[in-house]
Chains A and B, each alone.
Chain A
C-alpha cells in the first residue's frame, strides 16, 4: 500500500505512465466528444418546449459537470498536499486550475446565451448562477495566489488552503436548484433515477461528458508533465527524457 502511494508521488513514474496514457485519452476522448456533439447538433430530435436552442446542452452540461468535478479533484489533491506534502499533488492543482477556470467560464457563457431565448434574459442573480460565478472566482483566486507567491512550498500550501475553503461552494451549486427557487432547470442526470429525457438526447449528452472527461485527462497530463519537467530539471531522468527528444 505505502509502496503504491510512494510510486504515485514519484514524478518520474508519473511522467512515463502519462506518456503512455495520453494518446488513448486524446483519441478516445476526442472521438466520443465529437460524436456526441454531432449527434446532439444534427440528429437528436428538437425539444418540445425549447425547440433547437436546447442543443447548447451538449456543451453546457459537460462544461459545468467537469468544472465542478475538477474542483473536487483539486480539493482532494489539496488535502494530499497539506497532509503528506506530496509534490505531485501540488503539480496537479497548479496544472488543472486554468482548465477548471476555462470550463467554468464556458459553462457560464453557454448558460447565459442559452438563457436569452429560453428565459428572456442573459443573467439572473439566482443561486445556481451566482454559485457558479463564485466557482469561477475561486479558480481565478487559486491561479492568482499561486502566481503571487514565489516560494514553491509556501505557494502550494496557500493555494491548497484556499481550494479547501472553497469546497463548501460545491454542494451549494449542486443543491441550489432544489433549495431555492431558481430559473435553472433541475439536474439532467442523477445517479439514482433514469434520465427524464429521451434516450436520443441523453445518450449523446453522456458521450459528450465522457469524452470531455478524457480530454481533460489528456490536457491535465500534458500540463502536469511540463510542470514536472521544470521542477525536476536537475535530475538525471529528466536529462535522459530531454535527450530522447521528449517522448512526445
Chain B
C-alpha cells in the first residue's frame, strides 16, 4: 500500500479531485456505452422475436421497419 491511511488515499496528497474526477468520468461514461449497447441488443432481439411470432398477421407493424433490408428477390 502506498498510503498510510484511507484519508491519505482519498486526498492523494492534494491531487485527489483530479485523480478521482478522471476515474469517475471514465467509469461512468464507459458504463453508459456498455449499457446502451446491451439495451439495443435486447430491443433488437425482442423485435425480431416479435416479428417472427406474428410474421403473417403483423406485416404492417412498423416497429423496427428501418432495420429490415428488403430484398425484392425474396418477395
> Which residues of A are at the interface with B, using a C-beta cutoff of 8 A?
37, 41-46, 51-53, 55-56, 59-60, 63, 98-99, 102, 105-106, 109-110, 113-114, 116-117, 152, 219, 222-223, 225-226, 229-231, 233-234, 238-239, 242-243, 246
Contacts and interface: CB of A to CB of B under 8 A. Distances in A.
Given A43-B2, A44-B2, A102-B33, A53 B15 contact: yes
Which residue of A37, A45, A113, A225 has the most chain B CB atoms within 10 A of its CB atom? A113
Chain A contact residues: over half helix, strand or loop, or mixed? helix
Q: B interface, how many residues as a size bin? A: 35 or more
B74 A234 contact: yes
Interface string B42-63: 0011001101100000000000
Contact of B69 (A59, A231, A239): A231
A62 B36 CA distance: 22
B33 A98 contact: yes
Nearest to A231: B69
Contacts of A116: 18
B46 to A, nearest CB: 9
